[in-house]
Amino acid sequence: VVFTVARGASALPHLNFFTDDMAQAGPLDPLDRGGIWHAIVGTLLQIAIALVITVPLGLLTALFLSEMPGRLARLVRTVVEAMTALPSIVAGLFVYATLILALGVPKSGVAAATAISIMMLPIMVRSSDVVLRLVPGTLKEASYALGAGQLRTVTHVVLPTARSGLTTAVILATARGIGETSPVLLTSGFTAALNADPTQGPMVSLPLAIFQFVKSPEPTMVARGFGTAAVLMLLVLLLFVVARVVGGRTPLTVDAQRRRREQRRAALAAAWRSELQRTRALLRRGRGQRPSSVPVALEEIP
C-alpha cells in the first residue's frame, strides 16, 4: 500500500485526475491534464451490471443448495467450488468466444460485466450458502409448525434472519469483481474517452487503465497508473470495511444491543423514580427547598 501510494503521490493531488478523461491528454502531457474519470465510470457501470446478474442467480443457487439437499445439490456445490479456482483469463475467453465471436455482440461494458459476473458468482454462492446454513433450524421448524410452507418460510424467516450475512456476501463478491483485469481486457476493449453507454463501444475500467498506464515508458503515465492503483485499492478497502461492519450485525448482536438499551432505559427510569420519591418525601416533611440537582418540574413527572 505504501509503495503504491508513494509512486502515485504525484498524480493524486491534482483534481483533474478524478474529473477528466484521457481523450485530450497524451503520454507527454503533464499531470495537470487528463485523468481517470472514464475508468471510474466504466468500473461502476460494469460492477452494477454484474451485480444485477450475480445477486439473483447466486442467491437462488445458495437457497437451492441449503433448502433442497440431494445429489443434484452436491453436483452444483462441486461445480461452484471448482469455479472458485477458475482463472480469470478463462472466464474472459469463454465470454469472448460465446458472446463476441459466436453471437456477434460487440466489445462493450455488457460483455465485460458478463465476464466479471462469472468471477463473482462462486464467491456469492459460497458465502451465501454458509450464511444460510447458520440460520437456526428451530426457527424454520417453528414456521412449519405454524402452518407456513417452504416458500413462505424462506421469504419471511430464512432471508430476514440471514440479511446481514447476505449483504456481506454481496460486498465480498463485488470486491472480487472490481479488481478483475483479464476478462475486461478481452471483452471491453480500450478507449481513452468517457463512454457511459455499456451496450456500445469499448469501455475501460480501473484495472484495465492501470494496465495501460504502466506499460508506457513515460514517468507521468506510470505515475497515473500507480495513482489509479491507489484509487482502486481504496475502493476495495472501503468495500471490505463495509463488509466487516455489516457482517458484525448478526441477529444475535442486534438483539443483545436492544436488550442493553432497554436495560439502560429501565435503570435510568428507576433512578428518576427514586429521586422523585425522595424529593416528594422531603417536601411533605417541610424540610425547605428541594435539592438543587432536581429539576423544578420534577414532581410533575407521572
User: What is the Cα–Cα distance from 302 to 296, expressed in whole angstroms?
Assistant: 14
Whether residue 169 contacts residue 124, with contact meaning beta carbons closer than 8 Å, is answered with: yes
Reading the chain (302 residues) residue by residue, the pLDDT tens digits are 899 999 988 888 888 888 888 888 888 888 888 888 989 999 999 999 999 999 999 999 999 988 888 889 889 888 988 888 888 888 889 999 998 898 888 888 899 999 999 999 999 999 898 888 888 888 888 888 888 888 888 888 888 888 888 888 888 888 888 888 888 888 888 888 888 888 888 888 899 889 888 888 888 889 999 999 999 999 888 888 887 777 665 555 666 667 888 888 888 888 888 888 888 888 877 755 545 554 545 445 44
Half-sphere exposure of 273 (CA within 13 A, CB side): 7
Q: Read off φ and ψ for residue 76, nearest 5 degrees.
A: -65, -40
